[in-house]
Amino acid sequence: MTETVKKMISSFESERQGVHKTYKTLSLIGWPSLGAFSLLALIAFFLNWPEFVFFIAVPLALVGAGIGAAALAKRKAFCKDVASRLQNEINKELFPDAKYSPNGLPIQVILKPGFFEMPDRYYTADYMGASYEGIEFEKGHYRLQRRETHTDGRGHTTTTYVDYAVGTMYHFIYGRDFGGTLKVLEKSSFGFSKSGGLPKYETEFITFNKKFGVFSSDQQLVFYLLTPQIQEKILSLEGMAAGQFYMAFMKNELFVGINDSDNTISIPFNKPLDESSMGAIVEYMSIPAVFIELLGLTHAKFEKNAGVNV
């Protein structure tokens, strides 16, 4: 964590204290008012009290609801603003050459590693392309949906679209073509479609085998890329994110999917913002650099002149 980021977090904490005070005040006025006047309106209605009591209580209950909603809106706006400003600063420091687009990654890139089936409808957003230590990467958010059709007893048919994958895809390109495919998938998430029909292997690391399924076109590739040190680092990377974790080495590309419904980043609001409470968030926002460093993508064995295949 750089000094600039530390200073930003300190500034955020000063802002949080002010916003949190306003939030508590509005909450203490809004939600009790909603409860009290709603109860008064119900009592007036069922006990046949004079109508004016009911017609006064209902608007006051709505005012209470509005004040409570305003408190929640202030909290949400603050957390969103902190996340945006912090991410922008981290990107500026680590990825000064970054290019952005609201359109997201092409769907072909998201589907290429075979983590997900073809969607009936999809949305992509927040594309970023950059490089770190000479390794090019791109990332973007995705929302994949399947179409579901239901027919009721009267023969009426309705069609809905249901999310089955929401998260962020990371795509790295390094120099060496390993000539094969290696996938590391959380055991709770893998199936034939995600493994692509590749043979399944186990490593000598029992903890890793319990957490992940390993699939590869070449057993030698498994032992060459998944060293005990790399397995430890993959466990560490997976622990950074909520949801499901997918990884695939494919020739000279690395794909990492974090299928977390975009819920991993949650700015603390009811406790101080400091290095302790924000450290994991800063690390998560730095993920492309973290992946490149932990997986050693800048090391000699990933360089183009290291060999054609294993």
Cα(8)–Cα(278) distance, integer angstroms: 11
Residue with tokens 């203490």: 28
Rounded (10°) angle between helices 287-294 and 275-285: 80
Closest CA to 196 of 98, 283, 116: 116
Q: What is the pLDDT of residue 235?
A: 85
Backbone angles phi and psi of 292, in degrees to 5: -60, -40
Per-residue pLDDT of the chain (310 residues; tens, 9 = 90+): 789 999 999 999 999 999 999 999 999 999 999 999 899 889 988 888 888 888 888 888 899 999 999 999 999 999 999 999 999 999 999 999 999 999 999 999 999 999 999 999 999 999 999 999 999 999 999 999 999 998 887 888 899 999 999 999 999 999 999 889 999 998 765 444 567 788 999 888 888 888 899 999 989 889 888 888 888 888 887 777 777 889 999 999 999 998 887 666 789 999 999 999 998 889 888 989 988 998 889 999 898 876 655 5
Q: What is the pLDDT of residue 1?
A: 76
| Category of 174 on φ-ψ map: left (φ > 0), alpha (ψ -120 to 50) or beta | beta
Cα–Cα distances (Å) from 188 to 14, 46, 183, 246, 258, in that order, read: 41, 52, 14, 11, 14
Q: What b/e string do you get for 53-86 counting C-beta neighbours within 10 Å, with b at 16 or more?
A: ebeebbebbeebbebbebbeebbeebbeebeeeb
- Find how far residue 165's CA is from the centre of its chain: 11
Residue pair 265/281 in contact by the 8 Å Cβ criterion: yes
Enumerate the domain spans of the chain.
3-94, 99-306
Q: What is the pLDDT of residue 309?
A: 59
Q: What is the pLDDT of residue 84?
A: 92
Q: What is the pLDDT of residue 191?
A: 45
Cα(288)–Cα(136) distance, integer angstroms: 10
Q: What is the pLDDT of residue 20?
A: 96
